[in-house]
A and B are shown apart, each in its own frame.
Chain A
Amino acid sequence: MKKLTLLTLVFGLVGLVPLAHADRLADIKKAGVLRVAAFDANPPFGFVDAKSKKIVGLDVDYADALAKKLGVKLEIVPTNPANRIPLLSAGKVDLVFANFTITEERAKVVNFSIPYFASGTQFIAKKGTLTSPEQLSGLRIGVDKGTTNEIQLREQFPKATLVAYDDTPFAFTALRNGNVQAISQDGPKLIGLLANVPDRDKYEIPPFAISQDYIGVGAPKGETALTELVNTTLRELEADGRAQKIYDAWFGPTTKTPLKRIFKIGDKT
């Protein structure tokens, strides 16, 4: 602690802004900016658009709808899976819209909204190498650090060798190079990834999932007013059809990643 105090002293000299610990919703309105953590490398949830070089995606569209409702500007902070909780806890962002799976463990340190997406842990492997979950125990599997996929695999398949990467594209590079035999992520995210790979014919997503997960918006722990507003907004988006529009923009039949919509906001609370 003494050493940290020294650091604070040093940074104190640089002149820093103390964090407000009031109601976050009021802070957002006052600042006129909603700071949202989103993925920058996970199409179609959040990725850097090739033309505009801006972060776009399904998660960003939801965040944008919320910012519009609040009447504030949206500021996207790029994140990888492992930084999502630290960003919230440290007050660096107001909300996390980053394919954030709701779990009891995480709910101890962050507030979750009602789910706005559902998925399950699935795999990508070279064609023909993975057909059933039983095989997983004997494989080297690439996972993303700090994801539920990693935790589920460790619990359900303790004999599998897991190699943790910073983000899914890195894990996929490892699969491509033969460092691992399969990689694991939420099914829709894997579909989005494979859709952008030129030689996608060599790979497949075996048709089984080892979990059923719900994706929610992460808010700082204890920020009830903010969480409630997110919930209300999500229900409105479903009621007036905008949620379906956002879904269709990224997973609709004419997109690179057509996927039937099996979950509607409000199906599970």
Chain B
Amino acid sequence: MDFSFLQDDLTYLLWGTFPEGPPGGALLTLLLSAGSGLASALLGLAFGVLLVMLRGPALAALTTALGFLRAIPVLMLIFWTYFLLPILFGVDVPGVLSVMAALALVGGAYLGHGVAAGIRGVGAGQWQAGLALGFTRWGALRHLVLPQALRMMLPSFINQWVTLIKDSSLAYIVGVPELSFLATQVNARVMVHPAEIFLFIGAIYFVFCGGLDLLVYLLNRRPRRA
């Protein structure tokens, strides 16, 4: 094992040419994950609520759209948003944004079903209690059902966020200089230590995903102790 490449390339792998250039490497991976994680949570929440509240053709349309998003590889979605949209419709999406949008859409579609299941899991009694107290259906959802449902759904959210961090590496396909893309560049120059370079990269992803897991665990424990 020879990790001497770290001498020259550690900062490049961690934040690219930032601050002279745009953020890259692990920093960009974090930004990509945070952006798409937040967007996917909001989308997932909206999709989930709509899955429960919508009826008839609107529900069918949403279910089809979510089914489509869940059925195609994320890589395809990234590739399409980056290369196909400009050709077909003349809209130009920058690489980072196309990756973020693709990850958010797919993540949101997955989370939507989780959120819907969480809401349904709260139990009819809570809904009825809300309606009896004079809440509207939306009011009961907002004040009674969702607060309970979201707590139950936390593990699904964490699962999805961890998946997003790892999926952000798919950005390499459109040349977005996140961690694994820069690792490929460094590997191409160093040539002889692919095992060390990609082990190091793997360790960074492990720290990110493990860190997120730990953070949520700690945040979750505190209120119970108090």
Contact = CB atoms under 8 A, between A and B. Distances in A.
Interface of A: 3-4, 6-8, 10-12, 14, 16-19, 21, 40-43, 47-48, 50, 53-54, 77-80, 83, 86-87, 89-92, 166-170, 172-173, 176, 193, 196-199
Contacts of A41: 184-185, 188-189
A50 B80 CA distance: 33
Contacts of B80: 4, 7
A7 B185 contact: no
A78 B93 contact: no
Contacts of B19: none
A19 B189 contact: no
Given A7-B80, A169-B187, A197-B191, A83 B175 contact: yes
Nearest to A172: B191
Interface of A is mostly: mixed
B223 interface: no
A84 to B, nearest CB: 11
Interface size class of B (residues with CB under 8 A): 35 or more
A90 B86 contact: yes
B217 interface: no
A42 B191 CA distance: 11
Contacts of A54: 17
A207 B33 CA distance: 48
Contact of A16 (B12, B84, B92, B191): B92
Interface in B81-104: 81-93, 97, 101
A43 to B, nearest CB: 8
B96 to A, nearest CB: 12
Nearest to B175: A78
A168 B187 CA distance: 11
B177 to A, nearest CB: 7
Closest 6 CB pairs of A and B: A41-B188, A169-B188, A90-B86, A86-B83, A19-B90, A90-B83
